[in-house]
Amino acid sequence: MVVPTHLEGSSGKRWYIYGNQHAVILTGYKAVKEGLIDNSQAFVDRPHTPFLSVLTKNRGIGFSHGHVWMQQRRFSVITMRKLGLGKRGLETQIQEEAQHLVEFFTSTKGQAFDPAIPITNSFCNTICAAAFGYRFSTDDKEFLELIEAIRIILKFAGSVCHALYEVFPHIMEYLPGPHQTVKSACERIISFSRKQVKHHKENQNLHEPQDFIDFYLFQIEKSKDHPNSTYNEDQLTHCIFDLFVAGTDTTSSSLKWALLVMANHLDVQDKVHKEIKEALGSSHSICYQDRKKVPYTNAVIHEIMRNKFILLFGLPRQCVKDVYVDNFLIPKGAILTPDLRSVLFDPEHWETPDEFNPNHFLDKEGNFVPKDAFLPFGAGARVCLGELLAKIEIFIVFTSLLREFRFQPPEGEKELSQKTIIGLGVSCLPYKICALPYNNQS
């Protein structure tokens, strides 16, 4: 392997040269903004790596490129917006998932428990509702196999075995190992999606489309005579694959961090509960628009997502043309990676970047203030497709739980560990927590 040459430029740009392959890491808000936002169209492609090419075949949303990516991305963005809000939209499904979590937490009767599985099941079911139009029982065998397949893929991404495959694909292809298990896991998700597509085709409704598959099948029919159309069932199943892999672990990790942080900051938690009860009451069905009524709670959620970020780096992008960023030439074909942590902890934009401080998102009057440097979902043309869905999920579920429970460490523990597990993303160590129901008079 070639040891990379490291050069560092102004505005936090770092250059790594692997043989004849240039790679640039953008560090800090100024550099990331100039690269991903100001020059967004110059960095719309994904690098072509051996393992990802085997898995995706230039299909779907996350790792496709060129005309395929443009069509799939545009369609998916529009469709997710249509599904996201409204009386019959995903917001209702998310409210139902929040209620399922409330019921499960109530059943623990204040005893210490691990919240990881119910949280993951809940967020995976939200993707099921978006893609298929309905949720699964958490005892459903196929549903549990789907979650296990997602876990296997995410655990493998960024591992040593993954790196070896990217460097020695012709050798690794014929060797046993985790990479073969991942291929099987990917095929299980694709097969699961094909089954759902077949079911939708057999029971196509005459009414308006209700879920992602409905909208996509309608788009296939609408575009069948267009010579440049990339809409087909293979693309559809890979789009669903991307939704599950990208949308389940990130949001569930955010909520696990949120409960952990609240258990370690009881004063903040009590203030959140008080605001929710006073502004939204006890029986009000919480919706995303309610965030405007609870500025402190909204600030706490944003600060958790900033301070306990899920992604160290945004997914790599490839430069499609020669472009200058801060007077540095980034040549066509160079790989660019944004250091998202450096943006979320940039001392020029956060008063106390290393501390958990909800005041980062509040003005002196206590009003919520959005921040340009809040980029946990990335930025530019490849910004996370599920950003809106994730924000709706986390707000509704978090406020629903904090309205009903006071979260504390188990008896005998002063606080929960905030050590991290670093993989493709950043997750907390497994923990147990106590969910103590508030009295009706609280």
> Do 101 and 119 form a contact (C-beta atoms < 8 A)?
yes
Per-residue DSSP letter, 21: E
b or e along 52-61 (b: 16 or more beta carbons within 10 Å of the residue's beta carbon)? beebbebbbb
Angle at 117 between CA 112 and CA 118, to 5 degrees: 80
b or e along 394-428 (b: 16 or more beta carbons within 10 Å of the residue's beta carbon)? bbbbbbbbbbbbbbbbeeeeeebeeeeeeebbbbb
Indicate the burial class of 329 (C-beta count within 10 angstroms; 0-12, 13-18, 19 or more).
exposed
Question: Between the CA atoms of 49, 50, 55 and 59, what dihedral angle is there, to the nearest 10 degrees?
Answer: 50
Per-residue DSSP letter, 45: B
Q: Is 384 annotated as a binding residue?
A: yes
The two beta strands, 323-325 and 405-408, are unpaired
Q: Cα separation of 337 and 316, whole Å?
A: 5
Q: Cα separation of 55 and 440, whole Å?
A: 52
Return the SS3 of 57: coil
- Gap between the terminal Cα atoms of the chain: 62
Instruction: Tell me the β-bridge partners of 26.
Output: 13, 338
Q: Cα separation of 273 and 268, whole Å?
A: 9
Q: Cα separation of 269 and 406, whole Å?
A: 8
Neighbours of 190 (CB within 10 A): 18
Annotated binding site: 384
Annotated binding site for heme: 384
